[in-house]
Amino acid sequence: MLAGIVFVGLGLIFGVTRAVRWARSLRGRRFVARTRPSAGKSAMSPLLVHDRAAALAAVRMLRCACGGRLGGEPESTEAMRYGGGEVMVSVPACPACATRRGLYWVAPR
Ligand SMILES: [Zn+2]
């Protein structure tokens, strides 16, 4: 009887710790996915394109957080120095909410 209670208790503790560990690993994985910068969002991970036209095409595909399209010509396209190289940044604006977002890209010369 006592042995049975201890056994069930241990099983319960084991099950709970496993569930907690599983939930933690799930949260950790989701956190990594959220923080991993996708190509083009930062100078650290620029989008690799063939040429300027391809970069501007990619800019037209961008969507704003409000759901609007960032399409159209970017307000500015500038070169910036990053890590010993040059990264271009095009900044389109959302026509709906006027949010600006930079698309970082690199094209071979
Ligand atoms: Zn917007």
* pLDDT per position as a tens digit, 79-94: 999 988 999 999 999 9
Distance 99 CA to ligand 1 centre (A): 5
CA distance 95 to 14: 55
Distance 108 CA to ligand 1 centre (A): 31
With cut-offs at 50, 70 and 90, classify the pLDDT of residue 71: confident
With cut-offs at 50, 70 and 90, classify the pLDDT of residue 7: low
Distance 102 CA to ligand 1 centre (A): 13
Amino acid letter for position 2: L
CB environment 16-44: b (16+ within 10 A), e (fewer): eeeeeeeeeeeeeeeeeeeeeeeebbebe
Contacting residues for 99 by C-beta, under 8 A, at least 6 apart? 64, 65, 66, 93
pTM for the predicted model, two decimal places = 0.63
Q: State the virtual CA torsion across 71, 74, 75, 76 in degrees, nearest 10.
A: 160
Distance 73 CA to ligand 1 centre (A): 15
